[in-house]
Structure 1
């Protein structure tokens, strides 16, 4: 381009782009395509899943790059997947093709109501991927069996947030890598029970490295005793917004964790009994909402709470009625 003997910035840009095209035409690959598969997969994780799959049309090298993504966040309200059948088929095909050694997190948000068997199949596929984080959130009834999840020894964080659902636990659970367990009800209490074949109605949950345990509006249905064995547990939060003590069976919940440092219990006085060795608790807040306890004096109520929760050496207890 003639510009009176001077080379303009636009000329330099055109020459640079032309040079890049010439290099590509000569077979030179771009730097991103030269990266290892797992690094490209990690980069694609920051895209929405649909866009990550679209990269398969870039070149022969990129056809299966999307299968190396490390985090999945799926929502059935996605504008492209509004049909329930389309959504389930899409998720199943995607899980079957993903590279199992690279998946770290799986987040599934369900707005619609699904057949429990179908959700169970999805859970089985995810649990077989040696995954580290599983988060299932459903605004509608979504009763499931957690047996496949509790076979996944690579699992480090489990979050079940369900609405008006029944969650089935095996009578014995041992997850050696789990550090956080969140059981949260949405809109209405979430019921947790064991398999019907369990005659003793006792659950034993062993989590050797668990640090955080949160239970919000969860009912232990038809369970006599729940033992949570977590020697490294540091934080315990138990909250209930509804008074459902009159329509559930009594359950004794024992938390075997001697080194809990942060404890929050906010609930109605229900038929459930929580036993916690709180000798090392540094911060504790216990809030009871029950008209039947209002006529007790503050000292009597504090003795009641200390006995109920096995709190003998706790200092600075915050007690609200």
Structure 2
């Protein structure tokens, strides 16, 4: 591991050697660094997706939804948001109230909301109901702090509805397509009082198989939900901000300032591994500290009329040096 991170001292022992992020990178401001996590031979990583998932949806009275940290690591959810549907027949209409999260969710911790105005109130009626399509429908969307879709739950909507969805939200138009497989969960057989579609198992398949009908159990782990989920590819964090920036074995990231990035995995035995890399963000303009390479090579020119020139990198013996990589250069 190239750098010890204080960000990670609050979790169980984290080892180095099973995940490798490659060499440090330099990018121009506004460009993206491609982050790629590779694993040592024999490392078993199961794909599970987001560390925060929708774990419960009760469309009865009162309506309720729950999210949970299903990973083995704390997750800073500052800036994450939960958005829900608000129309039975138009999939593109969202509830005007959104929940914007803050703080850190510890492994296994939950957050939930209902449309009972006395308990964890959503802020308005949650327009859900048990029953059949097309009379009654449901969706829930979980976004991270960069407004990436991290998880969705869909009830009754057909796959064709999902594929054509383009939902108007406070952070732009977002589609459910690609985040849920097949038709939504059949809401016909769920009870009208204290029954929920409850997440079970130990992986996220983004379809109806992730859920079963259980008694509503907000604020505790569902029966049959096996935590923590193992693996999920790498979970990426920006060390400067402390924010999670993505999940997966590859990620394109555009930081606005130079920063360390950490990639963390949990293998199939529950062991946590990490590695870090440094992304240097180069200013696109000439500054008082030097020259930018963002607009191409820079030609450094030494004073003329000297008999010999010896540049520090050994690349030139004349007054001109063409520079293609960041660094400090001098001439004797």
Structure number having the greater helix percentage: 1
Q: TM-score, normalised by structure 2?
A: 0.21
Structure with larger RCO (C-alpha < 8 A, sep 6+): 2
With the length of structure 1 as denominator, give the TM-score of the two structures: 0.21
Q: Which has the larger radius of gyration?
A: 1
